[in-house]
Amino acid sequence: GESVGLHLPTLSVQEGDNSIINCAYSNSASDYFIWYKQESGKGPQFIIDIRSNMDKRQGQRVTVLLNKTVKHLSLQIAATQPGDSAVYFCAENAARDDKIIFGKGTRLHILP
């Protein structure tokens, strides 16, 4: 069945270092994989997505990697800043119709 999960619930990173948030998925039929960021008291915010026929996509300070062989997705944040503190969700769009299935989330703590 469809499921999106995460390896670690909490990640602490020194300010200025790179962050890597990992995610496992089980639905090989998903067309897109997406990362959302949710700050306290706010709704999730789209960060970046990657289509299933790609293995890497870069945005501003973020890179998403997709390894379909092991069904693994990761989000890399370069030069982590205090404003990156949030819960990060991986998600998948399995049906190309905006029905997004979310995982449980990883909380990112930025250490001074």
Partner 1 sequence: ETGVTQSPTHLIKTRGQQVTLRCSSQSGHNTVSWYQQALGQGPQFIFQYYREEENGRGNFPPRFSGLQFPNYSSELNVNALELDDSALYLCASSSSGTGSSGELFFGEGSRLTVL
Our CA dihedral for 2, 33, 78, 85, rounded to 10 degrees, sits at -50
Task: Tell me if 82 contacts partner 1 by CB under 8 A.
Answer: no
Task: Tell me if 44 contacts partner 1 by CB under 8 A.
Answer: yes
Q: State how far Cα 48 lies from the chain centre.
A: 8
Site of tokens 């496992």: 24
Report in angstroms how near the CB of residue 16 gets to partner 1 at its nearest: 28
Task: Tell me if 102 contacts partner 1 by CB under 8 A.
Answer: yes
Measured distance CA(112)–CA(35) in Å, rounded = 25
Among 29, 82, 83, 96, binds partner 1 (CB under 8 A): 96
**Binding characters for partner 1, 52-81, by CB under 8 A (x = yes):** ------------------------------
Task: Tell me if 91 contacts partner 1 by CB under 8 A.
Answer: yes
Task: Tell me if 42 contacts partner 1 by CB under 8 A.
Answer: yes
Measured distance CA(75)–CA(90) in Å, rounded = 9
